[in-house]
Chains A and B, each alone.
Chain A
Amino acid sequence: MAVPASASSSSSAAVQPDAPDAAHEPARARRWRLSRSRKLTAGLLIVGFFALLATVGAAFASGATTIGDDVLLAPSAGHWLGTTDTGQDVFKLLLLGSRGSLLIGVVAASAAVAVSTVIGVVGGYLGGAADEFLSLLTNVVLVLPGLPLVIMITDYVGNRSLLVIALVIAFTTWAAPARVLRSQVLSLRSRDYVAAAKVSGERTWRIMAFEILPNLIPIIASQFVFGLVLAILTDAGLAFLGLGNLDGRTWGSMLYFAQNGQALQLGAWWWFVPPGACIALVGTGLSLINFGLDELLNPRLRTWKGARS
């Protein structure tokens, strides 16, 4: 499961604009500025909405898992998104699921990014035997098939709590970002400012932490966002296979139960469409953030309307 990388390249020696001078900004430049914000803004709005749902909304989800008598009801005033085959309110389950899914996403992505950063930077900067060993480790983990590995580990561990699932996902997804970071570090370590730091007498660990790492932040941020998407999707996949959290705390588990309960055959679309749509929307929102950030950081990726030389 490779995570695509977005490397930020330094801008060319073209004329660098400084502080904005609004009075002279022609209509074209203004139009571009709006479109730049659009992707990023859209992404932030979507993800922000779901984050809000996850933090605040889940408070309204009390009694989500309460089993009731009103089974498989279509959406109505009483139940905004209908009920499941055990009488649970789908809307409340959705709110609860948002917290679970996003939590897994954040924990898994954070852990993966932390591990991949340490391994990528140390291996990439030190080179030699350390790099050989860490690269070997990375490549082995990278090559291991993700899903079967996750299945095996969850089976073995037994515990299916959100935390464990998040850590397992992190374990299977740190390798690809590590490779990306390592290659970026390889390019950074030959920069003059690293040599200058050495000549100044800076210690090795400080060079890694304070000269190289700060310049990796754009890539780390983008890897983190992709990690979020991947984690949420992986969790959904796991749950769908019945290997995820069975307390019904994530969107993925909703899909599992829906499938188990024959929702598709029974035409109970309100049960599986909302969680699926939420997963898709969050994924889209996160990707938009990534693209928006990319354009922000690399002027050459910006799309222009009506180009003519």
Chain B
Amino acid sequence: MTTLDVTGLVKEFNVGNAVRRDVLRAVDDVSFGLPPGRTVALVGASGSGKSTVARILARLETATSGTVTLDGAPAARRGAGLRAYRRQVQMVFQDPFSSLNPRHTVGYHLARPLRIHGHTRRGPEEEKAVHALLRRVSLTPVERVAAARPHELSGGQRQRVAIARALAPRPSVLLADEPVSMLDVSIRLEILHLIDRLKREDDLAVLYITHDLATARHFASEILVMNKGSIVERGPADDVILRPAHPYTRALADAAPDPLRPRTRTR
């Protein structure tokens, strides 16, 4: 039973000019499912198409062909249907420094999705809801954080705000597009643990997009490896990492820095 299903997803970009028609297949026949309460990792290098998949699922891009179904129903592209889809499917962006509007307070960022999806109206009820969201992502003291602007917060705190904003509509699917790759190393794990906890509490279906195999292994139950637009390998996390079948996966695993690997340099 999956919450979100993707079948035969294809995305082509026109890269030719008037003289020569040329298309780039950024996503080539991708299919997978996101079950509730589990994390599926989509792993690949930059240019593999993984971010494009996320953007299509977030309805920021339209697929050239293929279907996306939410709870069995095809995902809408506009109007009320799209809004209903957005209530269920939310996204956390990669860059905490640009995913928050520098002109608005944290409170504004959280209140908007609450209001858009009809969970609250302006007033004390909304303020309480905003504070509750902040508490869920451990951003305290809530009054001070709600009144702060993004530049007053650290990268990790901003990313927590982004996660809180994604939770505001009470979604069932969370798309996390490289949520920690722009954060300091020592705080990445904490943020990933936060997403993991929220997934368990809300029974979310999480898509974790990353180029980092190690964290994919630790936080996901299933790993999909993408290369040049298609999925070259998929399976339970440990299987894919420890017993990779596809040569690309093997190359990725070998190339990743591994603190436990014996040093190859001779001196």
A–B: direct contact at CB < 8 Å = yes
Within 8 A of B (CB), among A107-165: none
Q: Mark A175-211, 1 if CB is under 8 A from B, else 0.
A: 0000000000000000111011111111000000011
Within 8 A of A (CB), among B117-150: 117
Using known A-B contacts A192-B93, A192-B95, determine if residue A199 contacts B101 with beta carbons closer than 8 Å.
no
Query: Do B98 and A202 have beta carbons less than 8 Å apart?
Result: no
Q: Mark A11-35, 1 if CB is under 8 A from B, else 0.
A: 0000010000000000000000000
Query: Do B165 and A215 have beta carbons less than 8 Å apart?
Result: no
Query: Do A201 and B99 have beta carbons less than 8 Å apart?
Result: no
The CA of A210 and the CA of B94, in the complex, are separated in Å by 22
User: In this complex, what residue of B is CB-closest to A13?
Assistant: B97
The residues of B that contact A201 with a CB separation of less than 8 Å are 83, 86-87, 113, 116-117, 169
Interface of A (DSSP majority class): helix
Contact residue among A192, A195, A197 (Cβ-Cβ distance under 8 Å from B112): A197
Query: Do A195 and B101 have beta carbons less than 8 Å apart?
Result: no
Within 8 A of B (CB), among A224-238: none
Query: Do B101 and A200 have beta carbons less than 8 Å apart?
Result: no
The residues of A that contact B117 with a CB separation of less than 8 Å are 201
The residues of A that contact B101 with a CB separation of less than 8 Å are 193, 197, 211, 214-215
- Smallest Cβ distance from A214 to chain B, in angstroms? 4
- Smallest Cβ distance from B147 to chain A, in angstroms? 16
Within 8 A of A (CB), among B154-170: 162, 165, 168-169
Query: Do B99 and A196 have beta carbons less than 8 Å apart?
Result: yes
How many residues from A make CB contacts under 8 Å with B?
16
Contact residue among B58, B95, B100, B102 (Cβ-Cβ distance under 8 Å from A199): B58
Interface residues on B, range: 20 to 34
Query: Do B151 and A195 have beta carbons less than 8 Å apart?
Result: no
Q: Mark A213-224, 1 if CB is under 8 A from B, else 0.
A: 011000000000
Interface centre among B91, B99, B117 (most CB of A within 10 A): B99
- Smallest Cβ distance from B100 to chain A, in angstroms? 6
Query: Do B60 and A193 have beta carbons less than 8 Å apart?
Result: no
- Smallest Cβ distance from A195 to chain B, in angstroms? 6
Query: Do A198 and B60 have beta carbons less than 8 Å apart?
Result: yes
Q: Mark B83-110, 1 if CB is under 8 A from A, else 0.
A: 1001100110111001111111000000
The CA of A147 and the CA of B83, in the complex, are separated in Å by 50
Query: Do B113 and A195 have beta carbons less than 8 Å apart?
Result: no
Count, A-B residue pairs, CB within 8 A: 56
Query: Do A200 and B98 have beta carbons less than 8 Å apart?
Result: no
The CA of A303 and the CA of B102, in the complex, are separated in Å by 26
User: In this complex, what residue of B is CB-closest to A190?
Assistant: B98
Query: Do B116 and A195 have beta carbons less than 8 Å apart?
Result: no
Query: Do A196 and B165 have beta carbons less than 8 Å apart?
Result: yes
The residues of B that contact A215 with a CB separation of less than 8 Å are 101-103
Query: Do B98 and A192 have beta carbons less than 8 Å apart?
Result: yes
Interface assignment of B59: CB less than 8 Å from any CB of chain A:
yes
The residues of B that contact A16 with a CB separation of less than 8 Å are 151
- Smallest Cβ distance from B148 to chain A, in angstroms? 12
Query: Do B90 and A199 have beta carbons less than 8 Å apart?
Result: yes
The residues of A that contact B168 with a CB separation of less than 8 Å are 200
The CA of A201 and the CA of B165, in the complex, are separated in Å by 12
The CA of A16 and the CA of B101, in the complex, are separated in Å by 18
User: In this complex, what residue of A is CB-closest to B95?
Assistant: A192
Query: Do A200 and B169 have beta carbons less than 8 Å apart?
Result: yes
The residues of A that contact B95 with a CB separation of less than 8 Å are 192
- Smallest Cβ distance from A166 to chain B, in angstroms? 31
Query: Do A200 and B113 have beta carbons less than 8 Å apart?
Result: yes
User: In this complex, what residue of A is CB-closest to B58?
Assistant: A199
Give the interface of A toward B (CB within 8 A): 16, 191-193, 195-202, 210-211, 214-215
Give the interface of B toward A (CB within 8 A): 58-60, 83, 86-87, 90-91, 93-95, 98-104, 112-113, 116-117, 151, 162, 165, 168-169
| 17 more CB-based (< 8 A) A-B contacts, given A195-B58, A199-B58, A201-B169 | A192-B93, A192-B99, A195-B60, A195-B93, A196-B91, A196-B93, A196-B162, A197-B101, A200-B112, A200-B165, A201-B83, A201-B87, A201-B113, A202-B112, A210-B104, A214-B103, A215-B101
A-B contact pairs, 24 of them (CB 8 A): A192-B98, A193-B98, A193-B101, A195-B58, A196-B91, A196-B93, A196-B99, A196-B100, A196-B162, A196-B165, A198-B59, A199-B58, A199-B59, A199-B86, A199-B91, A200-B112, A200-B165, A200-B169, A201-B83, A201-B117, A201-B169, A202-B116, A211-B101, A214-B103
The 8 nearest A-B residue pairs measured at CB: A214-B103, A192-B99, A200-B113, A193-B101, A192-B98, A201-B86, A201-B116, A192-B93
